[in-house]
Amino acid sequence: MKSDNISYRYDEEKMAFLMDREKLDNPRKALDFLLDKYWWEKKFNGTPIIPAQNPLGKEPISLPKPPPIKLSLEEEYWIEFTQAKSQKELTNSLLAMQADSELLPQIKARLKSRSESLFDKFFND
């Protein structure tokens, strides 16, 4: 079923990241992807909304939960950075990221520049 047309604004960097990571070719598909992801994670939650009857018996058919989404190394490091409780912890995380041979130099540079704002919170406290 199609919905009415709607217009929406979005953060271009986030949209580009989502479209690149999920191999989507337009913002509409990205929105559909996010709606579907939300449906499976929050609303549907792995159990049927209307219990379907098993043709072999009386018990309802239970549907499997979708597999968890694997985070990229960049996302894992960013979460680690944002959860750091001290400047030393954040510095150690940055050093580990710099030593990680699986990360591309561009991703390391992007994470390093993004993490600079996190250091400010330790200096301003």
Is the pLDDT at 14 greater than 60? The verdict is yes
Kindly state the average pLDDT of the residues 99-115: 90
Structural domain includes residue 3: no
pLDDT at 96: 92
Range of the domain at 48: 9-65
Query: How many domains does the chain fold into?
Result: 2
CB-neighbour burial class of residue 53 (10 A; exposed 0-12, middle 13-18, buried 19+): exposed
In percent, how much of the chain has pLDDT > 70? 76
Q: Please state, rounded to an integer, the average pLDDT across all residues of the chain.
A: 80
Is the pLDDT at 13 greater than 70? The verdict is yes
Structural domain includes residue 38: yes
pLDDT at 62: 65
One domain for residues 19 and 41: yes
Angle between helices 105-124 and 87-99 (to 10 degrees): 170
